[in-house]
Amino acid sequence: MSKNLLSVSEIAERKGVTAQWVRQQIRNGVLRATRVGKNWVVTESDFDSFNHNIEARGLFESVSPKDLTEKRDFVALSFFSGAMGLDLGLEKAGIQFRLACENDKTCQQTIRLNRQNMGLIGDIWNYSAQQIKEIADIKGDIDLIVGGPPCQAFSTAGARKGFDDQRGNVFLHYIDLLLELKPKYIVIENVRGLLSAPLKHCPWENRQGDWKPDFLEKPGGALLYIIEQLRAGGYSVSFNLYNAANFGVPQIRERVVIICSRDGRKVPYLMPTNSNDPKFGLAPWETLRQAIDGVQGCDHTDFPEKRLKYFRMLHEGQYWKNLPEDIQPEAMGKSFLLGGGKTGFYRRLAWDKPSCTLVTSPTMPATDICHPTEDRPLSIQEYKRIQMFPDDWTLAGNIVKQYKQVGNAVPVGLGYAIGKAILAHARGESVEPPADFPFSRYKNTDDVSWEANTRRVMGLEPDENLLDHADVDSVTQRMHKKEN
């Protein structure tokens, strides 16, 4: 091969891995390559960049030929795929996807740009379980189905209508579909608000005086209903609230991850790789500086000039409370008198800490995400690095839609940790995280303590089944119907 071009076999020899492993990285978009005839070739500069990503960001581990044989047949389907952050992480662990399901047209374009040979369907309501298997070309068992149903219905930042919201209804339809397809493993990802979402939402204006929630309005009912359905379908259920920073992601981002196994054996909690507490002997959290070092390109929206003048008064790691006291009312306007810490206003990131949670727009007043030293929001390229997307992952749509896709994504590093946990469980390995590891900043978010507390709040006995309540059945039957 030319001195400037490397073949797959040459790369495999240099890295001490199999050619199959190298081809997998090319298919995943991690290693940039060009097809010449029937063969792939890689430039020396792209190979050097690939090596830098492995060493600097720690995304991959050595894979033996035996592991490749075991992982190659582990086939998955992806629902609510978005820009495929979760899927990319699972792929890096060795899981292959046959199909993506995504209703958003721009996200569909992104999937097509990066995964031309993958099956792709749209609205989940339009396909039966049998049609999905046919499109994915799966004759027998499905190894894994993953998906994060729309989370706005459960978000603490919104109206939180839960299953009263059409997006909540999609969640229930998804559960029905999972139980019909019956994969070996299920992964459901969602926002922290799912832990406290009720089965039935009571509008804030109705919570006056001595209001007390009735049985269906008590917090936690929605998730309890979901896990009881999954258990009734024969699955073990394991979940926790995970801070992505504990898994090598340069970002404080907390998400509920539910992992279910058809064989009834509970999947252990995810194995952390990083911690901000040195007593666990893990690597420290990745920082913003490490994440965006050497990033190429700087496509971004802009802050309005009337707000930029306040950003110019702030240094890295500061926010509105670091403005001069006499300036704060002027800068905040009506929001100054609101309660809460309002930590998202005029927020400059710090170089040597993880990023805050990326949102769908870095220029909204209550969720500003400003570069540490430059007077601009984070760029799309920086967003991708923080979510651990490959630099060459192509995003469809205009810049506003690109921010939304990356901001809504599951960090690739968190998906990688999920994939490793599932594959270890499938191989019969027992991989347990350190005792008493704080997966998030909140307590009682693991399935055991959460369920015990939720049953107590709802007035249920430890072995009493929520599904046995007639009122619950009538409400959920209504909610299962798709609204016109």
**3-class SS of residue 337:** helix
User: From the centroid of its chain, how far is CA 165?
Assistant: 21
Residue 279 class from Cβ within 10 Å (0-12 exposed, 13-18 middle, 19+ buried)?
A: exposed
In contact, 242 and 188? CB cutoff 8 Å? no
Q: Which residue has the tokens 């509105």?
A: 320
Residue 151 appears among annotated catalytic residues: yes
Residue for token digits 């929630």? Answer: 213
d(CA 376, CA 354): 18
The Cα–Cα gap between 72 and 66 comes to: 10
Task: Strands of 11-67 (E only): list them.
Answer: 34-36, 39-43
Tokens 């008064």 — which residue? 313
What's the burial of 369, exposed, middle or buried (CB within 10 Å: 0-12/13-18/19+)? buried
- Report the relative pairing of strands 96-101 and 119-121 from DSSP bridges: parallel
Alpha-carbon distances of 269 from 63, 245, 247, 256, 424, rounded to whole Å? 22, 15, 12, 12, 12
Return the C-alpha torsion angle 307, 308, 310, 315, nearest 10. Answer: 140
Report the C-alpha gap between 398 and 390 in whole angstroms.
19
In the chain, what is the greatest distance between 2 CA atoms, to the nearest angstrom? 79
Return the H-helix or E-strand segment holding 473. Answer: helix 470-480
Q: Kindly name the residue from 101, 107, 151, 356 that is annotated as catalytic.
A: 151
List, in order, residues 6 or more apart from 203 with CB less than 8 Å away.
Answer: none
DSSP 367-410: G--B-SSSSSBPPHHHHHHHTT--TT----S-HHHHHHHHHHSP
What's phi and psi for 297, nearest 5 deg? Answer: 90, 155
Residue 192 phi/psi, 5° resolution?
-55, -30
Supply 138's token pair: 């799966």
CA distance 422 to 424: 5
- Sign of the four-CA dihedral 120, 122, 124, 126: negative
The catalytic residues are 151
